[in-house]
């Protein structure tokens, strides 16, 4: 399945059905009078967040969504049937943005089952029966249905994960993802092996959390260097960042600084997230070199760092323990600070 995290689509709610012009023609009824019914309401455009989707690839091939219009009214004061709502299913974590220069945020679907009536269908037109008055006994006027709302918009997917895996290219992120989760990410001895975000579920001592690996950052990513920073949006919602630094690099402290500078330049709260730093690919250096690098890196990041080798599994368990503990603290803080969601299902 191809990964696509942005898509532009056109949506149009259904128009209301036209009102009817009709008169009663019944035997033994001398003055039948008008009996044209109203038109039905046009269908709404509804977005629904569903489980099991993690890409917007379907919207590459289907870009126009038009809800059905309401049925027209008919004689005997019968109102036309309303159009059936058009439900557009999107992955959890999808944002709906206006098609303007600022890409204004219109809606954010962050929970499974969340539904949003985005565009309302037009009202049905009045039939001639509603125009009858004491002085207008046989009206022939009626209303056409009101047109439904329509617009172009952007969909942007931000994957929902608990831990975001960041670092320079080729520092062992994909290997760590494969070691600790059920993912099967591509691994290669060259930069930018990962070209799209990868998700995996970590199961550790009775706990489960989702780990997101994004393509590596390089210096100048905020200005578009390399793949750029467009995939950083997928770790905006994470509670913890796992920053891997290559032990075999010439200057691990400088490698750490480059990624931190790109996170700070991107903003969106990434610079304030809980960060766990790990020296990866530790099996590629000897013990003395590893101890020196660890001390230098700890001084650069100002916090405790871990030493890990995803290829051999050394140091993985203590690192997962630290991640689980950090997630627990982050969850407690989130529950204390954030109010309950105010959306309700239809």
Residues forming the annotated binding site for Mg(2+)? 174, 194
Q: How many CA atoms lie within 13 A of 29 on its CB side?
A: 9
Other CB atoms within a 10 A radius of the CB of residue 216 amount to: 24
Measure the CA–CA gap between 37 and 73, rounded to whole angstroms: 5
Give residue for tokens 């913890």. Answer: 240
Query: Could you tell me which residues are annotated as the binding site for GTP?
Result: 167-174, 192-196, 213-216, 280-283, 309-311
DSSP string computed for 219-286:
TTGGGT-TTTTGGGGGGTT-SEEEEEEETTSS-HHHHHHHHHHHHHHH-TTGGGSEEEEEEE-GGGS-
Note the helical H segments in 105-214: 173-180
**What secondary structure letter does DSSP report for 215?**
P
Q: d(Cα 283, Cα 312) in Å, to the nearest integer?
A: 8
Q: Extract the annotated binding site.
A: 167-174, 192-196, 213-216, 280-283, 309-311
The CA–CA distances, whole Å, from 179 to 172, 201, 317 equal 10, 11, 11
Long-range contacts, stretch 137-144, CB < 8 angstroms, 24+ apart: 137/31, 137/33, 138/23, 138/33, 138/34, 139/34, 140/21, 141/21, 142/18, 142/19, 142/20, 142/21, 142/36, 143/18, 143/19, 143/39, 144/18, 144/19, 144/39
């Amino acid at each position: 399945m191809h990964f696509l995290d942005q898509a532009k689509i056109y949506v149009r709610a259904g128009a209301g059905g036209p009102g009817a012009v009709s008169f009663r023609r019944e035997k033994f009824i001398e003055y039948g009078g008008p009996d044209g019914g109203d038109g039905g309401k046009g269908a709404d455009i509804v977005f629904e967040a569903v489980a099991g989707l993690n890409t917007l690839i379907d919207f590459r091939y289907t870009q126009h969504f038009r809800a059905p219009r309401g049925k027209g009214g008919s004689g005997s004061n019968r109102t036309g049937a309303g159009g059936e709502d058009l439900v557009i299913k999107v992955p959890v974590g999808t944002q709906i943005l206006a098609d303007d220069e600022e890409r204004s945020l219109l809606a954010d679907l962050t929970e499974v089952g969340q539904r949003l009536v985005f565009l309302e269908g037009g009202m049905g037109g009045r039939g001639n029966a509603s125009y009858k008055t004491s002085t207008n006994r046989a009206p022939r006027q009626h209303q056409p249905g009101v047109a439904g709302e329509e617009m172009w918009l952007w969909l942007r997917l931000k994957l929902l994960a608990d831990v975001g895996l960041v670092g320079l290219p080729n520092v062992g992120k994909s290997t760590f993802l494969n070691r600790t989760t059920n993912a099967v990410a591509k691994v290669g001895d060259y930069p930018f092996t990962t070209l799209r975000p990868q998700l995996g579920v970590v199961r550790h001592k009775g706990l489960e959390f989702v780990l997101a690996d994004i393509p590596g950052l390089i210096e100048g990513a905020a200005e578009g260097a390399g793949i750029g920073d467009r995939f950083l949006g997928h770790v905006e919602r994470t509670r913890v960042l796992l920053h891997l630094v290559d032990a075999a690099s010439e200057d691990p402290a400088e490698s750490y600084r480059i990624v931190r500078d790109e996170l700070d330049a991107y903003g969106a709260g990434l610079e304030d997230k809980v960060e766990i730093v790990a020296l990866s690919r530790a099996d590629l250096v000897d013990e003395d070199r590893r101890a020196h690098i660890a001390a230098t890196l700890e001084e650069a990041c100002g916090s405790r760092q871990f030493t890990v080798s995803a290829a051999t599994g050394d140091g993985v368990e203590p690192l997962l323990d630290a991640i689980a503990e950090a997630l627990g603290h982050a969850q407690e803080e989130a529950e204390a600070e954030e109010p309950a969601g105010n959306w309700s299902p239809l």
